[in-house]
């Protein structure tokens, strides 16, 4: 495993029931929720999430689907509920064929759910994503804690199909469902002292069982420079492949920064903080020579232990050349004009 070669084998066996036996129990009628036997539109209408409550259908649908069982990764596309259909395409969405759903949902780095690539999907049942709130604080005029549906409410969802390049030299193409990070941040009116943005993952060893082990300094933290966070490509995702975001992919709210290596796209976000000084970030703190703060995809700057010049797209046999800024140089290279990208990697 490339990201953490020094992990001891004892960290690779989690005390969590990896078979998900609880989800296999037969429910009594009194244990079956209304959401499981009522069609989506009727259920949402009954609960007052549409109309009088003023909540957008998109946000209400997320609330609803986070309380229902997510589709199995091996389900054919025709059998999976397409919650988000007919969305407009986001900026610079690629026309490349998306990675197969089963690959995108069964091969993940989400160390809070385990350190092997298939641990997150096996342990995903432990992560309960409702209720969920996001706290925004720091150098801003309107800090606060919002329920996820309120955090989402003002924003129109888009389908943003972007390349995702892992620092470990594998990649995917994922049709995300989300909205502009910058638009969300503007609502909290960052002050002139806000130069950076920090993001923090949920810390709860009961829901993220590997946090009970000393694999990393929990909770997971990431950060962006303010102009990076405000760039139109920076995305807050709540879904993928037309569906609600699976737990193993960072439900219910994650960051997507397509021109950076995947570890910058922090998962299961519960806090956002505007800062005057550059925030510390998890992998950069642990191995600063291997995982730079900026982490822009750069085929000309090798990782200390491997080349970044080529990558393997999941589901493909042959490797392909890695593109500068993951193919988004036209959109984002100007952010780094004059910077030595071999030094600030």
- SS3 category, 36: helix
H helices present in the chain, as ranges: 40-46, 57-65, 101-106, 119-123, 148-152, 181-186, 226-229, 282-286, 329-332
Cα separation, 15 vs 114, in Å, equals 11
State the pLDDT at residue 42.
Answer: 36
State the pLDDT at residue 13.
Answer: 32
Cα separation, 29 vs 114, in Å, equals 34
Q: Report the largest interatomic distance among the alpha carbons of the chain, rounded to a whole angstrom.
A: 65
Q: pTM of the entire structure?
A: 0.80
Cα–Cα distances in angstroms (integers) from residue 27 to residues 1, 44, 227, in the given order: 39, 23, 50
Q: Which stretches of the chain drop beneath a pLDDT of 50?
A: 1-55, 57, 60, 62-70, 78
Beta bridge partners of 261: 165
Domain topology for 9-28+86-336: Sulfite Oxidase; Chain A, domain 2 (3.90.420)
Q: Domain extents for the chain? A: 9-28+86-336
Cα separation, 123 vs 15, in Å, equals 10
For residues 71 and 242, the answer to whether their CB atoms sit within 8 Å is no
Cα separation, 133 vs 308, in Å, equals 37
State the pLDDT at residue 76.
Answer: 52
- Summarize pLDDT for 142-184 with one digit per residue, the tens: 999 999 999 999 999 999 999 999 999 999 999 999 999 999 9
Enumerate residues 6+ apart whose C-beta is below 8 A from 270: 132, 133, 134, 135, 200, 201, 202, 203
Cα separation, 139 vs 88, in Å, equals 33
State the pLDDT at residue 320.
Answer: 98
Distance of CA 280 to the CA centre of its chain: 19
State the pLDDT at residue 242.
Answer: 95
Angle formed at CA 197 by CA 194 and CA 201, multiple of 5 degrees: 150
For residues 253 and 148, the answer to whether their CB atoms sit within 8 Å is yes
- Summarize pLDDT for 45-71 with one digit per residue, the tens: 333 333 333 345 455 454 444 444 445
State the pLDDT at residue 1.
Answer: 43
State the pLDDT at residue 79.
Answer: 54
């Amino acid at each position: 495993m490339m990201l953490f070669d020094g992990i001891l084998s004892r960290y690779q066996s989690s005390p969590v029931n990896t078979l998900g036996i609880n989800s296999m129990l037969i429910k009594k009628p009194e244990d079956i929720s209304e959401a499981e036997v009522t069609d989506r539109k009727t259920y949402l209408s009954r609960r007052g999430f549409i109309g009088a409550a003023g909540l957008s259908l998109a946000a209400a649908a997320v609330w609803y689907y986070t309380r229902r069982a997510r589709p199995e990764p091996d389900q054919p596309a025709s059998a999976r509920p397409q919650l988000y259909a007919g969305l407009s395409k986001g900026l610079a969405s690629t026309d490349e064929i998306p990675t197969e759903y089963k690959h995108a949902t069964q091969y993940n780095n989400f160390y809070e759910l385990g350190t092997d690539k298939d641990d997150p999907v096996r342990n995903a049942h432990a992560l309960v994503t409702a209720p969920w709130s996001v706290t925004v604080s720091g150098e801003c005029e309107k800090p606060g804690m919002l329920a996820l549906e309120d955090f989402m409410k003002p924003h129109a969802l888009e389908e943003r199909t972007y390349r995702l390049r892992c620092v470990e030299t594998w990649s995917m193409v994922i049709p995300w469902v989300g909205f502009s990070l910058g638009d969300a941040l503007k609502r909290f009116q960052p002050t002139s002292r806000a130069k950076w943005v920090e993001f923090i993952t949920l810390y709860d060893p009961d829901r993220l069982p590997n946090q009970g082990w000393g694999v990393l300094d929990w909770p997971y933290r990431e950060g962006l420079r303010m102009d990076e966070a405000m760039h139109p490509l920076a995305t807050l995702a709540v879904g993928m492949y037309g569906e609600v975001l699976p737990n193993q992919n960072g439900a219910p709210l994650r960051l997507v920064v397509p021109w950076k290596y995947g570890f910058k796209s922090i998962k299961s976000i519960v806090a956002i903080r505007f800062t005057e000084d550059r925030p510390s970030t998890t992998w950069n703190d642990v191995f600063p020579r291997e995982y730079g703060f900026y982490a822009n995809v750069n085929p000309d700057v090798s990782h200390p232990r491997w080349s970044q010049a080529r990558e393997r797209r999941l589901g493909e046999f042959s490797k392909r050349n890695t593109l500068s800024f993951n193919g988004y140089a036209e959109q984002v290279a100007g952010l780094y004009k004059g910077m030595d990208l071999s030094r600030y990697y």
